[in-house]
Amino acid sequence: MKRAVARVDLSAIRSNLDLLRTLAGDAEVMAVVKADAYGHGMVQVARTARGAGIAWLGVALPKEALALRRQGDAGRILAWLWAPGDEDVTSCVEQQVDLSVSSAWALEEILTAAESSRQVARIHIKVDTGLTRNGVQFEDLPTLLDLVREAEESGLIAVEGIWSHLADGDTPMAASVQHQRDVFERALVLAEAHGVRPRLRHLGNSGSIFAHPDCRYDMVRTGIAMYGLTPSLSLGTAASLGLTPAMSLVARLAHVKAVDAGTAISYGWRWSAAKPTSVGLVPVGYADGIPRAAGAPRPEPAVQVAIEGDRFDVVGTVAMDQFVVHLDTDDVPGVGTDVHLFGPGRHGEWTADDWAEAVGTIGYEIVTRVGPRIDREYVSETGTP
């Protein structure tokens, strides 16, 4: 039996996608599967999304798109982030992966790839509407649009989309969203004036599906919500939004021992037993994605795991490969007992969002950090592989 496993409920992902498609109305939904599907397993999640009728997948890196192609995915994929000279760009053009364009250099590389492969490259123009990361700045957009129009007239590219990304899409009533939407609208007008007429306009993300329906346009890109975590607690918990967490992280007790009062635990002796008690060793650590900041003593609340329906505090410093829990109970569980770190809560465990709130991060980071040393196991609604 394995020391730990991340169980991914693909039926939960399907259910979440069904909800998000309903909320998106007439807009298409892009399932974002970058970063190994936020730690859930890119290939398996992509197949689930395709089976649910999702026409578009989103990835950050060209290499991620090519990995999907190697696994037989022949549908529409958009990749949006690379550095100059990435050899995978040519392969993406050859294999009809849509690519995002934010600058003249990116367009030039795509044109070179299109010429060499004799394949029309499909592009989406990304506009920086205020997030100030990737995307062409508005003042530079006219020049890029002219270059795009010339390339399209030459037959080397097809303009499939124009898009941007929200800074506060998960925040209701955020002033920045209206500002970015206004800039996006101006970009659409400018594109039309320069003879560039993309088929798809997309601005919204997971949070905006709930908070800003006016950002739907032709397509919305859903990431964290399809995995059953809240885009932001300002919107509510995942449960209140109707989402089901797809990943459950389960380990097994590797050691149980009785300790005397005053016994110190783990590196730095940051926690010691206040009375005679028992502690258990959980054989996963920060190399597996467990936040080092989870160990007690720490500000309330203490991070807790669930064992046989009861919750126990994580104590002492989380190490690279292991951490310790305080088995403060008369009925001490034995070696090999399941330890539920996070999941949908069916075993009394916290959610990944609960972990995130406790250690001062976001649910995205908790699930994405679950490392490759922990095997993924895929289950359906019946709970069977």
Map out the domains of the chain as residue ranges.
Answer: 55-227, 247-379
Run of H or E residues at 256? strand 255-259
pLDDT digits (tens, 9 = 90+) for 106-158: 999 999 999 999 999 999 999 999 999 999 999 999 999 999 999 999 999 99
pLDDT digits (tens, 9 = 90+) for 294-350: 987 887 788 999 999 999 999 999 999 999 999 999 999 999 999 999 999 999 999
Query: For residue 381, what pLDDT is reported?
Result: 62
Q: What is the mean pLDDT of residues 64-81?
A: 98
Query: For residue 297, what pLDDT is reported?
Result: 84
Q: What does each C-alpha distance from 104 to 60, 151, 161, 190, 313 come to in angstroms?
A: 19, 12, 17, 17, 53
Do the beta carbons of residue 270 and residue 297 sit within 8 Å? yes
Q: Tell me which CATH homologous superfamily contains domain 247-379.
A: Lyase, Ornithine Decarboxylase; Chain A, domain 1 (2.40.37.10)
Closest Cα partner for 368 from 384, 355, 358, 379? Answer: 355
Mean pLDDT is lowest, of 17-21, 277-281, 295-299, 354-358, for: 295-299
Give the C-alpha separation, 29 to 38, whole Å: 17
Q: What is the mean pLDDT of residues 243-252?
A: 98
pLDDT digits (tens, 9 = 90+) for 186-196: 999 999 999 99
| Phi, psi angles (nearest 5°) of residue 145 | -60, -40
382 band by pLDDT with thresholds 50, 70 and 90: very low
- 3-state helix, strand, coil split of the chain in percent (to 5) is 35, 25, 40
| Phi, psi angles (nearest 5°) of residue 247 | -100, 135
174: which residues sit within 8 A by CB, 6+ positions away?
Answer: 167, 168, 211, 212
Q: What is the mean pLDDT of residues 199-211?
A: 97
Run of H or E residues at 5? strand 4-9
Mean pLDDT is lowest, of 100-104, 253-257, 292-296, 347-351, for: 292-296
Q: Which 3-state string (H, E, C) describes 173-204?
A: CCHHHHHHHHHHHHHHHHHHHCCCCCCEEECC
Do the beta carbons of residue 34 and residue 58 sit within 8 Å? yes
Closest Cα partner for 225 from 2, 9, 13? Answer: 13
Q: Are strands 76-79 and 56-59 parallel, antiparallel or unpaired?
A: parallel
Query: For residue 300, what pLDDT is reported?
Result: 79
- Residues forming the active site: 34, 267
Q: What is the mean pLDDT of residues 197-223?
A: 97
Of the CATH numbers 3.20.20.10, 3.90.1150.10, 3.40.190.10, 1.20.1260.10, which one belongs to the domain with range 55-227?
Answer: 3.20.20.10
Q: What pTM does this model have? A: 0.95
Q: What is the mean pLDDT of residues 214-229?
A: 98
Do the beta carbons of residue 264 and residue 30 sit within 8 Å? no
